[in-house]
Chain A
Amino acid sequence: GENVEQHPSTLSVQEGDSAVIKCTYSDSASNYFPWYKQELGKRPQLIIDIRSNVGEKKDQRIAVTLNKTAKHFSLHITETQPEDSAVYFCAASPANAGGTSYGKLTFGQGTILTVHP
């Protein structure tokens, strides 16, 4: 089955700095890669996702890059703010030939991001 490794497990930055979280996956059949943010005591929230036919996607201060050859994808947060402090999870999922997902997300272990004011 799929295995997703996420690094680092903790990341501490100063407000305004950039933060990068990296994930690797094992199953070449995976072609959908979402990132979730989970604040303490709250539900995971989808912040950005990327599909295998795209190498990079950006949404304001957040960007995700994907290298299918290396089976590697990364989350980049620029100009970090204290409210970015949370646990971030990467995930990978296979899709069938029709391009729909079977809803089986394999998650990384999470990265605790702390942004100091």
Chain B
Amino acid sequence: KAGVTQTPRYLIKTRGQQVTLSCSPISGHRSVSWYQQTPGQGLQFLFEYFSETQRNKGNFPGRFSGRQFSNSRSEMNVSTLELGDSALYLCASSLIERYGYTFGSGTRLTVV
């Protein structure tokens, strides 16, 4: 069974640009969550999607947005990039009937 797949693995962007990250959950998993991981702030929840609906959102500015498609694949978008957005962005998926979330390997975003 394939794991959670995130693309791309690495990204370098310039301040002010926008970026789109992709996440393909484990087959059959309908819940997809996104997290930002930085050395200073640790793992912070961004948002969670289920059946194309955002059910929960963390405390991030509106520049951070996401969506989920009918096949459960999810994307997150960050507009007007700032240096502080440099981080590892992790996606996790779960069968809604179970609690365990499986993480992908993440996308390492560097803003210069």
Contacts and interface: CB of A to CB of B under 8 A. Distances in A.
A117 interface: no
A22 interface: no
Query: Interface on chain B toward A: helix, strand, loop, or mixed SS?
Result: strand
Contacts, number: 66
B79 interface: no
Instruction: Report which residue of A44, A91, A107 has the largest number of chain B beta carbons within 10 angstroms of its beta carbon.
Output: A44
B98 to A, nearest CB: 9
A110 B42 CA distance: 8
Interface size class of B (residues with CB under 8 A): 20 to 34
B43 A103 contact: no
A53 interface: no
A99 to B, nearest CB: 9
A24 interface: no
Given A103-B94, A104-B58, A46 B102 contact: yes
A44 B104 CA distance: 8
A49 B99 CA distance: 9
Contacts of A100: 96-97
B42 A104 contact: no
Contact of A105 (B45, B55, B102): B45
Given A45-B103, A105-B33, 6 more contacts: A42-B105, A46-B102, A93-B99, A101-B31, A102-B56, A105-B35
25 contacts: A32-B99, A34-B101, A42-B105, A43-B103, A43-B104, A44-B90, A44-B103, A46-B100, A49-B100, A51-B99, A100-B96, A101-B31, A101-B94, A101-B96, A102-B48, A102-B55, A103-B56, A103-B101, A104-B45, A104-B48, A104-B56, A104-B58, A105-B35, A105-B101, A107-B42
Interface of A: 1, 32, 34, 36, 42-46, 49, 51, 89, 91, 93, 95, 100-110
